[in-house]
Amino acid sequence: MPTPASSSSRPGGEVVVIFGGRSEIGLAVAHRLAPGRTVVLASRPGGDVSTLAAPLEAAGAAAVETMDFDADDISTHAAVVDRIESRVGPVDIAVLAFGILGDQEIAERDAEAAAQILHTDFVAQAALLTTLAERMKSRRQGVLVAFSSVAGQRVRRANYVYGSAKAGLDGFASGMADALHGTGVTLVIPRPGFVIGRMTTGMDPAPFSSTPDEVADAVVARVLARRAGVVWIPWQLRVMFAVARLVPQPVWRRMPR
């Protein structure tokens, strides 16, 4: 089995996989991790990924691969990881960047719509984290990145379906991070506020908003440092939420989404 030293000295360097390979944040993370590494973009079948490799190669990636990946089909997760590892080698860094915001108004009336948000943003994430963590533990190395959100810190009326999915994922990932202590596997849990990007087009930015690049900078710093646990983005949100727990409930309505 490869060790951290041997993985970094492989011809293609460490293997970085972005699950949700067309995600703005995922691609921003991939761009920063690309130099000297093999990058795999695993994304939903049917989308155009032909233009995504060139920027990563220009950033210094040793190789860029693309792979079909349907996050919602949990039964295929292990097979997808098998194909990736048979093609490029063991996964060293896995970034779970897939997810949906959904439509809160529809989800309030449509049980299937609500279930879809919960499935993609919580159940599928937990399943893939489990699959990847077991493989990394057997090699005693690896980094996982699971994106939480401040939306899950106090689930609000405006987006309680999405927020509850993130709350579930946050709890699952936090517990897993503790369980992985001493195994050689690091689980980073970014907890960004409102991110200005494609997913939030048309929405009014909340206080302490960030961009995909700012999120990626914070995530990559933690990945490279192999520091497990939560990272608030921006850091001021940690203070904001700590103070908010001490003030009356109505103030929460002005918290970031």
pLDDT digits (tens, 9 = 90+) for 13-67: 999 999 999 999 999 999 999 999 999 999 999 877 889 999 999 999 999 999 9
Q: What is the mean pLDDT of residues 129-156?
A: 95
What rounded mean pLDDT belongs to the chain? 89
CA angle 70, 76, 79 (to 5 degrees): 120
Token pair belonging to 244: 């908010």
Binned at pLDDT 50, 70 and 90, residue 9 comes out as: low
* Whether 162 is catalytic: yes
| Per-residue pLDDT at 209 | 74
Q: What is the mean pLDDT of residues 221-247?
A: 82
**What pairs with residue 35 in β-bridges?**
61
Widest distance between CA atoms in the chain? 57
**What pairs with residue 229 in β-bridges?**
188
Query: Which residues, at least 6 apart from 25, have a Cβ–Cβ distance to it below 8 Å?
Result: 97, 147, 195, 197, 212, 215, 216, 219
| Per-residue pLDDT at 12 | 76
Q: Which residue has the higher pLDDT, 237 or 107?
A: 107
Strand boundaries in 153-216, DSSP class E: 185-192
Q: What is the mean pLDDT of residues 165-194?
A: 96
* Strand 185-192 with 229-233, pairing: parallel
* Side-by-side strand order, sheet with 38-43: 63-68, 38-43, 15-19, 93-96, 142-146, 185-192, 229-233
How many other C-beta atoms are found inside a 10 Å radius of the C-beta of residue 226? 14
Binned at pLDDT 50, 70 and 90, residue 4 comes out as: very low
- Interatomic CA distance for residues 165 and 151, integer angstroms: 9
Q: Name the catalytic one among 162, 194, 208, 241.
A: 162
pTM of the model: 0.88
- Interatomic CA distance for residues 130 and 133, integer angstroms: 5
